Amino acid sequence: MKKLLICLSLLLLCNCQNFGQLTMIADLPKDLEEVSGTEMIIGSDIIWMLNDSGNKSEIFGVSKKGNIKEEIDIKSKNHDWEDLTSDDEGNLYIGDFGNNLNKRKNLAILILDKKDLDDKNADVKKIKFKYPNQDKFPPKKKDLYFDSESFFYFNNHLYIFTKSRVHDNYGKTSLYKVPAKKGNHTAKLIGKYDNGNDVESWITSADISPNKDKVVLLSQKNILIFSDFKDDNFFSGKVEKITLSHYSQKEGICFKDANTLLITDEKAQGEGGNLYELKI
């Protein structure tokens, strides 16, 4: 009876909150209060998640009800993990490229082999990279364009979207790509996009659809959906903007299927820490 009352109370609480277009499908456990990256591997129902800097080097496999089913200790330091993606073979990539002060020289993407997703501890390979247009660490305040929280895999490359730290230019993002293989690489600049001026314009996560015809970028204020692009210049086609009426610190986005997005937000001041769904 006590469990039933708790469940009813949670349902009533969710129904009383206004999540705008988003449908809340789970309240995430305490271990994921600072969730920063979210990803689904094709052919699996597990949602992989990670926390950002200041947390342990762990990733979590979560059910669609928000229950932790897998927990893997990664044998690499969480300098500032910010996003997750996967390739067509089911390998996971961890974006260790959070760079708030724009002074990091150890930017990396960690490769977690699919065969290790059933283990409690896992080794990773490292993709080390640098930006071709950064020569000062940190650069001047007007050039703080080298933070990032977003990337995805496409055609044997990883595509990174930067997060601006420049005042009144927070929505500017640059698109770079690096090969999806172990080694030291210089990223290649592909294009730029401007999502606005305020901090709510920050790009905090990205993903590409299962059939590779849509790209989504997440910010606190909107979701950008790019389509009809040419090759890998994802900014070259059409863009649809979905304004979000529900405000929270949204940090993760991924495709559940071709027409459904999963979104996560960090818990802050008693708000957030949830898993949402959005039909597009």
pLDDT value, residue 268: 87
pLDDT at 57: 97
Contact 94, 52 (CB under 8 A): no
How much is the pTM?
Answer: 0.93
CA 196 to chain centre: 19
Rounded Cα gap, residues 48 and 27, in angstroms: 15
User: For the chain, which residues make up each domain, given as ranges?
Assistant: 2-279
Q: Which CATH class is domain 2-279?
A: mainly beta
pLDDT of amino acid 18: 65
pLDDT at residue 28, as a whole number = 97
Give pLDDT, residue 77: 97
Q: Give pLDDT, residue 1.
A: 57
Per-residue pLDDT tens, the chain, 280 aa: give them: 555 444 544 444 444 466 889 999 999 999 999 999 999 999 999 999 999 999 999 999 999 999 999 999 999 999 999 999 999 999 999 999 999 999 999 999 999 999 999 999 999 999 999 999 999 999 999 999 999 999 999 999 999 999 999 999 999 999 999 999 999 999 999 999 999 999 999 999 999 999 999 999 999 999 999 999 999 999 999 999 999 998 899 999 999 999 999 999 999 888 899 999 999 9
CA–CA distance, 16 with 106 (Å, rounded to integer): 45
pLDDT for 220 equals 95
Query: What gap in Å lies between CA 66 and CA 105, rounded to an integer?
Result: 35
Q: Return the CA Rg of the chain.
A: 18
Task: Give the burial class of 15: count Cβ atoms within 10 A of its Cβ; 0-12 exposed, 13-18 middle, 19 or more buried.
Answer: exposed
